[in-house]
Structure 1
Amino acid sequence: MKIKLIQPAMLPRPMDTQLKTRMAPSLALLTLAALTPATHEVIIENENVEAINFSDAVDLVAITVTVDVMDRAVEISKFFRAQGTKVIAGGIHITADPAGALEHFDAICVGMAERVWPRMLKDSENNTLRSIYRDMDHMTGSEIAPPSYGSIDAGKYLYTNIISASRGCPFKCDFCYNSCENAQKVFITRPVEDVLESIRALRTRHVMFIDDNFIGDPDWTKRFLEAIKPLKLKWSAAVSSNIVDMAALLDLMKETGCQSLFIGFESLNSASINSVHKTQNCVSKYDRLVRALHDRGIMVNASFVFGLDEDDPAVFDNTLKWIVDNKIETVTSHILTPYPGTKLYERFLNEGRITDFNLSRYNTAHVVFRPRGMTAEALYGGYLSLYEEIYSFRNIFKRLPRHKRQWIAYLAFNLFYRKFGKLTERVCLGVSFNTIGKFFRRLAYLVR
């Protein structure tokens, strides 16, 4: 069969440029490509970087779907189905809300694809495709398929050095997909050697681990970090804030080349944290955590969520002050968004507080519900002004890291990615996104 794998285009947030949509390829599509027998022809199209070729005569289309691209995925499916082509959909939104997807596609995948995709291909060939395929059973780490890195058109992206070492998260915060009924029930890690093989396949010493929680199993993380010591990597990852109580692991991260950690602080208000059952966070330990990371020369990418039920308009000024006072290197902010299928969505729906059902606006940059502690206008305005203040020249200077070797990476993100993102985007379009990404990686390696 001739199979087309599609990543639909997402609508940019107000602060985004193509640097965001061209950051890295879709691991979901690369994994499907790796799972597809060589007897089939595979075409990968990411609509964020290229137009979909609707004139291709293909036998099967598979679309990976997050909530904000669901409407676009339905449009794509409608076109191909009208031509007589079977369309399959999977991904985190399909798993979270399968009932809302069934009518739009010939078949959907609920859960992970490794054990389902080969069966779907066989059924499609035999014209016996069923409407829904599920795999919610426990899967071992050795069953996680490594992506087909050889299928990447590297020139289209800033980075191709992305690796997922695990699936899921041990925590079930109300606003997160892990709170869904169909969420993976256990946290699983790939065998250490499998992840090392992925690093070797990328042929780079600069790696971004994109796991939901790189320390979901701290013992595994320790074993893995011991294994990468000889590689002399520079790497980043996302971790939960309870790493504050894992000093030995932080030391090992420093020793093995950790450059930055993405951490979901979400709120400085303990009541707000408790309202969404983010049990791994302890607000009173935030300052200590930041000091522990900075003392080891590790930068912080802090995530915050605004619009939680205990938030009021003062949350923006309070958060900005904490960010500047603690010299937080980069910040990712979100408006609270009730993803369909999550506990938060069910609660807001039952309370009659969801005001917008246009899923393309569920990208954490729009207010789609009625906040409790402020108006929707105040929430949206505060969210935008916080970004402007964080990345003002004054606050970029105030947050400059105390370790000079971090200045290049820090200024590259704060100036070239955020402050002057539109200009950097034009340069990338004239040269190539991958060339610019390689330039900054090489520049970072000159700094010791």
Structure 2
Amino acid sequence: MKFLIIFPDWGYFPLSYRRTIPPLSPAILAGILRHYGDVQYIDERLQDIPFDAECDVVFISAMTNQVQRAYHIAEQFRKKGITVALGGVHASLLPGEAAQHADAVFVGEVEENLHLFLRDFKTGQVRAKYQCQNLDDETAVHHVPDRTIYPGKGYLPLDPIMFFRGCRLSCEACSVPQTQGKTVIFSPIADILTEIQNAQDYLFFINDDLYFHRSKIIDILTGMVGMKKNWLGLGSAEMARDETFLKLMKDAGCWLLYLDFGPREAIALNNPQRASGVMKQLQDRLARFSAQGLKIIGSFTFGYDFDTPAIFDNTLEFCVKNNIDEAEFHLLVPYPRTRLAQKWEQDDRLVCYDWQHYTATEVVFTPKNMSASQLHEGYLKAWRTFYQLPVSEEEAVFDIKSFRAFPTFKPDKAYY
């Protein structure tokens, strides 16, 4: 059989290099499909889609901001009589909607049901939905990604690595509990270390806040010491409370952390005088990262109900004062089925259900303490000011090419 895997374009985001970070899900899918036939992979962010390709099945994985484009792509192939399977975050959130645009929809982890779909395809009895069952550490299988699909795309030499699935928390704006479940399922530590050893010299640990699973992450980092890998991961300032953990991170090759400054920090940034203790604590923890030689990408979200117009200047002042190497500014997104979306829908505050605008660059809801135009202009001001874009530039769309936090020296292995 011949398979075509497509990662659709995802719309606009100011930092253009984000398009050159390879996604993990197509590589996991390719690793399984290789056992059944030939695989072609297209990342539409960097390539044109070959709509005339000869294939038996098209697999499309999409997040909410990609899904409108995914639906259009799916329809083009279905018109040609080609079977299309949709998966990814959005299909898991709204499988009924996705089913209107595909022959099959994967809900949850696609790899658990892929063999069933392929069996059904061969017999001409493809089902409309393949639902992942409840998994645990005993039933989940660690699937090794096929990263041979990456070369030639123009990606950064940055291999994504996933340690676990699911999240015990239920943050208001997050869709992970709805898509991956609230049970945290870790891959075997030995399998993770083998995957790391065989990957590029630069790694991106894609799971949220690593420190939340401190004991198992310590086992992984301990096994990495001496591997001469360089990695970046996601976390929060809470990591810096643990000097031993910070040192182990550095010894294991960490050079960069993507820190999410979430609601707690945003409340303080709205009124730093009242929250002087929190601000001092943040400043101290960021200084500890710096003392270990770790660079920081700060992620800031605007649009919380407690946000006032002061949030924009206060956030910029915070970035400068604490030597944030790179910053990302987002507008709050009420992703479908999250508690935030349900609350705002009940309050009639959602003004847009067109998923192509759910890019974190547009206001799709009614803010509480400012107008939608004030929120959007403050968001644009944050980007322009931090990256020192020309003052005369008034466009809402601009391309920031720098990746300040990436090493300037050339990796040992070839670039993708």
TM-score (norm 1): 0.82
| Contact 2:201-2:411 at 8 Å conserved across structures | no
2:283 to 279, 282, 287: 287
Within 2, Cα distance between the matches of 1:196 and 1:233? 11
Residue 99 of structure 1 corresponds to: 96
Residue 327 of structure 1 corresponds to: 323
1:340 to 327, 333, 336: 336
Within 1, Cα distance between the matches of 2:250 and 2:22? 28
Task: Report the CA distance between 1:144 and its aligned residue.
Answer: 2.6
State the SS of the aligned residue for 2:105: strand
Residue 200 of structure 1 corresponds to: 197
Within 2, Cα distance between the matches of 1:311 and 1:153? 43
Q: What's the CA shift string for 1:382-401, capped at 9, x where partnerless? A: 0111111111289xxxxxxx
Task: Report the CA distance between 1:186 and its aligned residue.
Answer: 1.6
Task: Report the CA distance between 1:59 and its aligned residue.
Answer: 1.3
Structure-to-structure mapping, 1:22-421, within 5 angstroms: 23-140=20-137, 143-180=141-178, 182-202=179-199, 204-267=200-263, 268-270=265-267, 285-392=281-388, 421=400
Q: What's the CA shift string for 1:81-136, capped at 9, x where partnerless? A: 11111111010111122222121111111111221111111111111111111114
RMSD, matched Cα: 2.7
The 1:288/1:172 distance shift into structure 2, 3 A limit, reads farther
State the SS of the aligned residue for 1:61: strand
State the SS of the aligned residue for 1:162: strand
1:440 matched to 2:403: no
| Contact 1:114-1:144 at 8 Å conserved across structures | no
Within 2, Cα distance between the matches of 1:137 and 1:420? 42
Task: Report the CA distance between 1:16 and its aligned residue.
Answer: 3.4
Deviates more, 1:150-159 or 1:27-36: 150-159
Paired amino acid for 1:12: Y
Within 2, Cα distance between the matches of 1:178 and 1:215? 17
Q: Identity of paired residues, percent?
A: 27
Within 2, Cα distance between the matches of 1:338 and 1:43? 34
Paired amino acid for 2:345: L
Within 2, Cα distance between the matches of 1:170 and 1:329? 31
Structure 2: which 5+ runs fail to align?
271-277, 391-397
| Contact 1:168-1:212 at 8 Å conserved across structures | no
Within 2, Cα distance between the matches of 1:122 and 1:95? 22
Structure 1: which 5+ runs fail to align?
274-281, 395-418, 426-436
State the SS of the aligned residue for 2:106: strand
Q: What's the CA shift string for 1:394-440, capped at 9, x where partnerless? A: 9xxxxxxxxxxxxxxxxxxxxxxxx9845x79xxxxxxxxxxx9993
Residue 8 of structure 1 corresponds to: 8
Within 2, Cα distance between the matches of 1:56 and 1:442? 36
Task: Report the CA distance between 1:356 and its aligned residue.
Answer: 1.4
TM-score (norm 2): 0.88
Deviates more, 1:87-96 or 1:35-44: 35-44
Within 2, Cα distance between the matches of 1:263 and 1:16? 17
Paired amino acid for 1:338: P
Would you identify which runs of 4 or more consecutive aligned residues in structure 1 move more than 6 Å? Answer: none
The 1:337/1:330 distance shift into structure 2, 3 A limit, reads same
